Amino acid sequence: MADLVRRHPALSLLVLAMIFGAVLIAPVAFGLLPPAFLQLGAASASAAGLVLAAVEGGRGAVVDLLRRGLIWRVGARWWAFAFLFPIVPTVVALYLGSAIGHRPLDWSGLPPFWQGIPSLIFLIVAAGIGEEYGWRGFGVTRVQRRHDPLVASLIIGACHAVWHLPLFLVEGEAYQGLAAQHGLPVAFLGFSAMVVASAVQFSWLFNRTRGSVLLVAVFHGATNAWNGYLDIFRVGMTGVVVYIALMGVVAAVLARDLRRLPPDLTAGSA
């Protein structure tokens, strides 16, 4: 089993994360719990990463993976980037979407900033910590042993996107609403493009901060939180499409730097 995990870390991570995720979201899918509990499924990625680390390298590998959540001395600029950069593509997308779609951009309903802080903290823990020990902490570090950081990012990004597929089929989930409105293929492909572009950004930060799961968890959570607080759907689907395109542009810019990085750049410790 350990040899299988070493040879196919990305596939092993995807399969186990989807199994764990199915178990966690099944109560919602069968109507036993409300849709709010779907967020529990996010923990399946990190849980899978920790289990696979144990299978591959025993206690030492698990401890090494957990320590990546303690890498915090990376410089103030990286903390600022993780917390604040996600605002940029969202705001730009909304203004461009407003102009392209001839739809006024009204900020009057935006709640005070402090009201968004609980959501930010929750998403850093649930989506960030809940997923990033798996996708970046385990996945990227293992795949980078065989591929350059950009290729590793794309592989893990594709796995990350496929992992979300069941949520497009669960009644009450926002993704299912998009699939019902625009068709499953269109909704899933558009979402996947955004996830893969995000994966390049997340992996770039992960590599630039010596493999800090903590920083990439903050970045992941902040990305989700700012999209919710600013409401990426504020000007309709035009803004969403522009946002996906902008995320692709950011990923393409960072990809040039990511491809030049050595595969072992994540070999940091707390």
Domain range for 170: 2-266
Residues with Cβ within 8 Å of residue 237, at least 6 apart in sequence: 182
- Residue 209, CB-side half-sphere exposure with 13 Å CA sphere: 32
What pLDDT is recorded for position 267? 54
pLDDT, average across residues 113-127: 95
Cα–Cα distance for residue pair 93/244, rounded to 1 Å? 9
Residue 47 pLDDT exceeds 70: yes
What pLDDT is recorded for position 173? 80
pLDDT band at residue 171 using 50, 70 and 90 as cut-offs: confident
What pLDDT is recorded for position 17? 97
What pLDDT is recorded for position 269? 43
Higher confidence at residue 260 or residue 190?
Answer: 190
Q: N- to C-terminal Cα distance for the chain?
A: 29
Query: Could you give the number of structural domains in the chain?
Result: 1
pLDDT, average across residues 61-87: 97
What pLDDT is recorded for position 38? 84
pLDDT band at residue 266 using 50, 70 and 90 as cut-offs: low
pLDDT band at residue 268 using 50, 70 and 90 as cut-offs: very low
pLDDT band at residue 270 using 50, 70 and 90 as cut-offs: very low
Cα–Cα distance for residue pair 163/66, rounded to 1 Å? 22
Q: Please give the backbone phi and psi of residue 144, each rounded to the nearest 5 degrees, phi first.
A: -70, -10
Cα–Cα distance for residue pair 132/138, rounded to 1 Å? 8
For tokens 């992941």, name the residue.
220
Structure tokens at 39: 């967020």
Give 92-109 as a 3 state SS string: HHHHHHHHHHCCCCCCCC
Residues with Cβ within 8 Å of residue 167, at least 6 apart in sequence: 25, 38, 41, 173, 175, 176
pLDDT band at residue 124 using 50, 70 and 90 as cut-offs: very high
What pLDDT is recorded for position 227? 96
Residue 75 pLDDT exceeds 60: yes
What pLDDT is recorded for position 185? 95
What pLDDT is recorded for position 16? 98
pLDDT, average across residues 128-148: 96
pLDDT, average across residues 65-85: 97
Residue 167 pLDDT exceeds 80: yes
The sign of the dihedral angle between the CA atoms of 143, 145, 147, 151 is positive
Q: What is the pLDDT of residues 79-115, one digit of tens each?
A: 999 999 999 999 999 999 999 998 999 998 899 999 9
CB atoms within 10 A of CB 262: 11
pLDDT over 90 for what percent of the chain?
Answer: 83
